[in-house]
Chains A and B, each alone.
Chain A
Amino acid sequence: EVQVVESGGNLVQPGRSLRLSCAASGFTFDDYAMHWVRQAPGKGLEWVSGISWIGDTIAYADSVKGRFTISRDNAKKSLSLQMNSLRVEDTAFYYCAKSPGLFAEPQFDDWGQGTLVTVSS
């Protein structure tokens, strides 16, 4: 059974940092690109960042570029998102999702349950 489990969400003050993790099981992790998608409470879905299966191609939404860093460890079947200089508008549920096929054509076929990041003073 495919499982994707996020962790690391918390309440943090504006300007501070937080690191999210995603643990994968039940599929061949290094066959898939992995992505982070977020959803502010009561709002729609927003793609945040993605990384190719080998980690050589990375992309970010303009809203997080220069502040967030995505990485993966295929040996540990894990994905991470380092979030620096957090802003109130980064408050959201953050989902880890896997994507088959080409990195540049992402479709999200399995999602974690999400982890909540709240940025507030």
Chain B
Amino acid sequence: DIQMTQSPSSLSASVGDRVTITCRASQSISTYLNWYQQKIGKAPRLLIFAASSLQSGVPSRFSGSGSGTDFTLTIRSLQPEDFATYYCQQSYSLPPTFGQGTKLEIK
């Protein structure tokens, strides 16, 4: 199975900040990388698919980049509703695997 490792595991930031979360795959996955946001008590929500494509309805302050083994999720100008946990997931091969999550907290 492909292992996905996110960093950091937690992050404190302020409204208006720019934040970057990284995700590393244990082998090359081309651009088969998706990002999800999960708020407490809610289901995950797809934000970014294929490493850099914005899912419909997701604000443009979210962006993704990377290929191969290293990927980033960037949130430009944090909003109060962005404080949540973020997961990466590889869709290169079965079984699909997720990173351990990055909890984004208010500073």
Contacts and interface: CB of A to CB of B under 8 A. Distances in A.
Interface of A: 37, 44-47, 50, 59, 61-62, 95, 104-114
30 contacts: A37-B44, A44-B101, A45-B36, A45-B44, A45-B98, A47-B95, A47-B97, A50-B94, A59-B94, A59-B95, A61-B95, A62-B95, A104-B93, A104-B94, A105-B32, A106-B91, A106-B94, A106-B96, A107-B34, A107-B46, A107-B50, A107-B91, A108-B36, A108-B89, A109-B55, A110-B46, A111-B44, A111-B45, A112-B43, A114-B43
Contact of B43 (A46, A50, A106, A111): A111
B44 A47 contact: no
Nearest to B45: A111
B71 interface: no
Nearest to A4: B43
Interface residues on B, range: 20 to 34
B100 interface: yes
A73 to B, nearest CB: 23
B95 A109 contact: no
Given A61-B95, A107-B34, A113-B43, A44 B87 contact: yes
Contact of A108 (B42, B44, B95, B97): B44
Contacts of A46: 98
Residue from A45, A61, A113 whose CB has the most chain B CB atoms within 10 Å: A45
Contacts of B100: 44
Interface string B36-76: 10100011111001100001000000000000000000000
A109 to B, nearest CB: 5
A62 B101 CA distance: 21
Given A59-B94, A107-B89, 11 more contacts: A44-B98, A44-B100, A44-B101, A104-B94, A105-B32, A105-B92, A106-B91, A107-B49, A107-B50, A108-B89, A109-B49
Contacts of A95: 43-44
